[in-house]
Structure 1
């Protein structure tokens, strides 16, 4: 899959204007932990985090649907509903009463680029752990550091993208994860270091066995980015 980068369109517009509860058996948990440990030994931290977040199950998904919402204080700034057919690569966006569709490939028409930018942004928030495998970032690990919001001791992985290509080249993400390899917080840093923001990863829910963080909040709670209407088939 070609390298793609997260444009953080939501944050640009704003500047300018825990764990999943489940009834898994002990044997299921042991099997999952064994799979994650094997992934780390074989392919390193990127694959380990992706596997822990259901990457193997996502490969079998045929359709993904979700609504991306952003609230600042008490005002909803964005609400976009997406439907992604993984078999045909057809993606549809519904905003208000308008629905637009395009096919995601290596040659996107100019009049569809703005839709693709929004999809990359929104799907990065939804499925960032998979981008560690799909894209080609430089990864730097640091064990047992203080998380920026909670102050909890977590592991840190710096995810830095090249300054060439993509919608926003040179962006960096610091993700903070626990011993279960689930992201608990992250910090987005725009290229050049002039913009950055930390948010939580919380309210994990499972869809077809795939854990999704459905809520992201700033430290003071004034910014909330959350997902509704999530469906994975």
Structure 2
């Protein structure tokens, strides 16, 4: 009986130590992650590899007038992308070399998908990141953590752009400020109306402080 009790105690102690070690290792791994990685993970980047197709409509309203509406279908396995706009559908495949007659189409896709999955771009794209600060967010005025994301002055469709991104304790972006290269144009918008699509978390609505500008996504479908 004493032997059985001793074995049980050893087993429980072993399992307890193993559990504590696992938690300690996980905490260490999380502590070593960069802020941008934590934001990407919080938004579901680890689930993205299991996604085969994303469909969404990119909409922009200015003063309650719909200025832009573009419906996209993106096959993430073969990078085949289709755009439906004004009853016209165009298709192309993203490669390292985009044909000249497809570059405008690709530019639209890059713009729209950046808004859709910007947290993932913190891992995917070539950007520089500032140190984390605590600042007042431009629209709400609430104190939040903030980093600046800066893109190189050469390459891409909008070289030299930067973003101040404000996020909460869960590493979900709440607001950002877009700054065009040269500092001649900037815009602050919210990140709100989050929804989880098969593990991919998307902010469906972005508004300016006065509400005159609204960018929103509709008809979102994320398929595995």
Q: Do the structures match in fold with TM over 0.5?
A: yes
Give 1:36 deviation, angstroms: 9.2
Counterpart check, 1:119 vs 2:121:
no
Task: Check whether the contact 1:39–1:47 (CA below 8 A) recurs between aligned residues.
Answer: no
Tell me, in whole angstroms, the C-alpha distance in 2 between the residues paired with 1:139 and 1:222: 30
Give 1:40 deviation, angstroms: 4.0
Give 1:154 deviation, angstroms: 0.4
Judged with a 3 Å threshold, the aligned counterparts in structure 2 of structure 1 residues 35 and 139 are, in CA distance, closer, same or farther, namely farther
Judged with a 3 Å threshold, the aligned counterparts in structure 2 of structure 1 residues 96 and 37 are, in CA distance, closer, same or farther, namely farther
Match of 1:132 among 119, 122, 136: 122
- Kindly report the root-mean-square deviation, in angstroms, between the aligned alpha carbons of the 2 structures: 1.6
Larger Rg: 2
Give 1:68 deviation, angstroms: 0.1
Match of 2:62 among 61, 67, 72: 72
TM-score when normalising by structure 2:
0.86
1:160-179 map, 5 Å: 160-179=150-169
Match of 1:50 among 20, 30, 40: 40
Task: Check whether the contact 1:126–1:213 (CA below 8 A) recurs between aligned residues.
Answer: yes
Number of equivalent positions: 200
**Residues 115-124 or 201-210, more deviating:** 201-210
Structure 2: stretches of 5+ with no match in the other structure: 1-23
Match of 2:134 among 129, 144, 153: 144
Tell me, in whole angstroms, the C-alpha distance in 1 between the residues paired with 2:25 and 2:218: 29
Counterpart check, 1:102 vs 2:56:
no
Give 1:57 deviation, angstroms: 0.7
Tell me, in whole angstroms, the C-alpha distance in 2 between the residues paired with 1:111 and 1:207: 33
Q: Indicate the SS of the match to 2:70.
A: strand
Tell me, in whole angstroms, the C-alpha distance in 1 between the residues paired with 2:113 and 2:28: 27
What residue number does 1:202 align with? 192
Q: Indicate the SS of the match to 1:174.
A: strand
Which one has a larger percent helix, Structure 1 or Structure 2? 2
Tell me, in whole angstroms, the C-alpha distance in 1 between the residues paired with 2:106 and 2:191: 24
Tell me, in whole angstroms, the C-alpha distance in 1 between the residues paired with 2:92 and 2:208: 32
Residues 181-208 of structure 1 deviation map (CA, whole Å, 9 limit, x = unaligned): 0000000000000000000000001111
Structure 1: stretches of 5+ with no match in the other structure: 1-33
